């Protein structure tokens, strides 16, 4: 008899909650990863995240092989793969970490039902956040929808216990002894290797000056760890512990924003696709396809917007300040539905995280839980003056900036501002 640890977005051996519990289950542990076809089928063939996962899985496999064990890697639909696994192995218990996205919740509910019917225990653990679900609630037991009071409680509750690492490595001797488990290649799964570079986990040198530098895209003062938090190659407990040790309170609060949005998505799953404030779904978006294309390609004639979109297209990452500017520009200047922008980001961002992406987009559109009032329209020119005054960021990504070759503005700012105020007012009154 064995236990299985099912890796999903927790792709590391160190400080992994469910893996720790699996290793202490009393049965030898078989580690498993499934390339989920339900998710992969929707992605382009050169999707960079698939390459990242593939390389990470390969590293994990090698680490496990050094322990005399291995990683079972499957490709297909989990609901079809699990019955096959149960035929091959005598499984007593299955361990995995919580995932809060709507698709994952449904998949895990189905898994729980299936495994229970097979008399197998399905044990799930909190791993990707410090506080989850109902751990941070208002006095009346309802969820917070505003960040500041959420963060106050999150911070008050935080102590050494919550950031203590699970000593997984001590128990790796409890892994199953096994050799040569099969693994599909990227090509067999229908994907190509992406040419993008992936950021390394090296953020400690950024924390001291983070508060000062984080808002200036040319300085690149942020840590680029979003991808690693997304796929669990970095433990959130480790990140929070490092923030506390460096006394980087601003960075700590950014990590809490991530949890805030995950908690919002958990309590309000409809907000993944509908406006959090439902009256915003009455807005008559213009949804002009040519203008959307110009935005996607970074050809709007607004230099800060174009720089951001080109950075995204070329690297899979965009600076937070610029994410806010381009999102505001799409929804307010061009009156294009926030879902179009959200979907484009979801396809391109290496650090794509449904909760934060939907949260960021709804914040920009004004439809979100803690959004600025709709009549606050970012002025791209003022944003540039404040945050890229010497046009360093812009020149890096838009080399033709300042020449005749550069595009004319797709829409005039004052006109666009008046238009959106009228359209939003009509929908919301
Ligand atoms: P740092 O500034 O170094 O922060 C460290 C970590 O804290 C980030 O990696 C992230 O996990 C978290 N964090 C920081 N800011 C935020 C925030 N505002 N909301 C939630 N978490 C935050 N973040 C994503 O992780 N995935 C997304 O898909 C995503 N989409 C966004 C879309 C829009 C329209 C906007 C305005 C913001 C979005 N963000 C998203 C938030 C933020 O822009 C990124 O987390 C940040 O730019 C990532 O860079 P970094 O890793 O260097 O972050």
Cα(319) to centroid of ligand 1, in Å?
Answer: 8
pLDDT band at 376 (very low <50, low <70, confident <90, very high): confident
Q: How far is the CA of 423 from the centre of ligand 1 (A)?
A: 29
Count CB atoms within 10 A of the CB of residue 195.
8
Separation of 227 CA from ligand 1 center, angstroms? 10
Domain 2-127 in CATH 3.40.50.620? The answer is yes
Q: Whose CA is closest to 350, among 385, 317, 314? A: 317
16 lines ligand 1 (CB under 6 A): no
Which SS3 state, helix, strand or coil, does residue 15 take? coil
pLDDT in tens, 302-352: 999 999 999 999 999 999 999 999 999 999 999 999 999 999 999 999 999
- In the beta sheet, which residues pair with residue 300? none
What mean pLDDT value characterizes the chain? 97
Q: Where are the alpha helices (DSSP H) in 173-235?
A: 204-207, 210-213, 226-231
State the closest ligand 1 atom to the C-alpha of 361, by its place in the atom list counted from 1. 34
CA of 87 to the centre of ligand 1 (A): 42
Question: What residues are annotated to the active site?
Answer: 254, 257, 285, 320, 338, 361
pLDDT at 373: 84
Average pLDDT on 410-420 reads 97
With a 6 Å cutoff on the Cβ, whether 248 touches ligand 1 is no
Q: Is the CB of 181 under 6 A from ligand 1?
A: no
Which CATH homologous superfamily contains domain 278-428? DNA Cyclobutane Dipyrimidine Photolyase, subunit A, domain 3 (1.10.579.10)
- The answer to whether residue 429 scores a pLDDT higher than 90 is no
Q: What is the mean pLDDT of residues 171-179?
A: 98
Domain boundaries, the chain: 2-127, 130-163+204-267, 278-428
Binding residues for FAD: 210, 251, 254-261
Q: Closest Cα to atom 48, ligand 1: which residue? A: 226
**Chain mean position to CA 363:** 16
Is residue 287 scored above 90 in pLDDT?
Answer: yes
Q: How far is Cα 270 from Cα 117, in angstroms, rounded to an integer?
A: 30
Residue 22 Cβ < 6 Å to ligand 1: no
d(CA 178, CA 68): 7
Interval 113-140 mean pLDDT: 98
CATH topology agreement for domains 2-127 and 130-163+204-267: no
- Cβ of residue 30 lying under 6 Å from some atom of ligand 1: no
pLDDT at position 372 is 80
| Cβ atoms within 10 Å, residue 406 | 14
Q: Is the CB of 224 under 6 A from ligand 1?
A: yes
- Ligand 1 pocket: which of 150, 211, 226 to mutate (most atoms <8 Å of CB)? 226
CATH class, range 130-163+204-267 = mainly alpha
Distance of alpha carbon 51 from alpha carbon 57, whole angstroms: 10
Q: Which atom of ligand 1 is nearest to the CA of 226?
A: 9
């Amino acid at each position: 008899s064995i236990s299985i640890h099912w890796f999903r977005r927790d792709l590391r051996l160190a400080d992994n909650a469910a893996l720790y519990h699996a290793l202490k289950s009393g049965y030898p542990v078989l580690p498993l990863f499934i390339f989920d076809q339900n998710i992969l089928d929707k992605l382009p063939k050169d999707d960079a995240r698939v390459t990242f996962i593939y390389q990470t899985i390969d590293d994990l496999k090698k680490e496990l092989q050094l322990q005399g064990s291995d990683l079972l890697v499957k490709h297909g639909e989990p609901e079809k793969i699990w019955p096959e696994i149960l035929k091959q192995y005598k499984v007593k218990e299955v361990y995995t970490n919580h995932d809060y996205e709507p698709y994952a919740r449904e998949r895990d509910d189905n898994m729980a039902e299936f495994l229970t019917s097979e008399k197998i225990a399905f044990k799930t653990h909190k791993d990707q956040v410090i506080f989850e679900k109902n751990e941070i609630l208002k006095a009346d037991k309802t969820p917070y929808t505003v960040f500041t009071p959420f963060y106050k409680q999150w911070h008050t509750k935080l102590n050494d216990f919550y950031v203590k690492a699970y000593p997984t490595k001590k128990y790796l001797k409890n892994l199953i002894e096994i050799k040569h488990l099969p693994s599909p290649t990227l090509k067999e799964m229908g994907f190509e290797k992406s040419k993008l570079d992936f950021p390394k986990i090296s953020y400690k040198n950024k924390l001291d000056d983070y508060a000062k530098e984080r808002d200036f895209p040319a300085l690149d003062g942020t840590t680029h760890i979003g991808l690693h938090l997304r796929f669990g190659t970095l433990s959130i407990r480790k990140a929070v512990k490092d923030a506390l040790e460096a006394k980087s309170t601003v960075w700590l609060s950014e990590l809490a924003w991530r949890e805030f949005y995950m908690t919002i998505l958990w309590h309000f799953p409809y907000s993944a696709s509908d406006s959090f404030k439902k009256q915003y779904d009455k807005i008559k978006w213009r949804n002009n396809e040519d203008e959307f294309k110009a935005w996607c390609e970074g050809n709007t004639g607004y230099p800060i917007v174009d720089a951001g979109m080109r950075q995204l297209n070329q690297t899979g990452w965009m600076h937070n300040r610029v994410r806010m500017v381009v999102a505001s520009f799409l929804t307010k200047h061009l009156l294009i539905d926030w879902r179009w922008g959200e979907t484009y980001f979801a396809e391109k961002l290496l650090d794509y995280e449904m909760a934060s992406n939907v949260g960021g987009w709804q914040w920009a559109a004004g439809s979100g839980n803690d959004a600025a009032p709709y009549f606050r329209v970012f002025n791209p020119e003022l944003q540039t003056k404040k945050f890229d005054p010497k046009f360093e960021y812009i020149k890096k990504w838009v080399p033709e900036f300042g020449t005749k070759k550069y595009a004319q503005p797709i829409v005039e700012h004052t006109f666009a501002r008046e238009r959106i105020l009228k359209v939003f007012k009509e929908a919301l009154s």
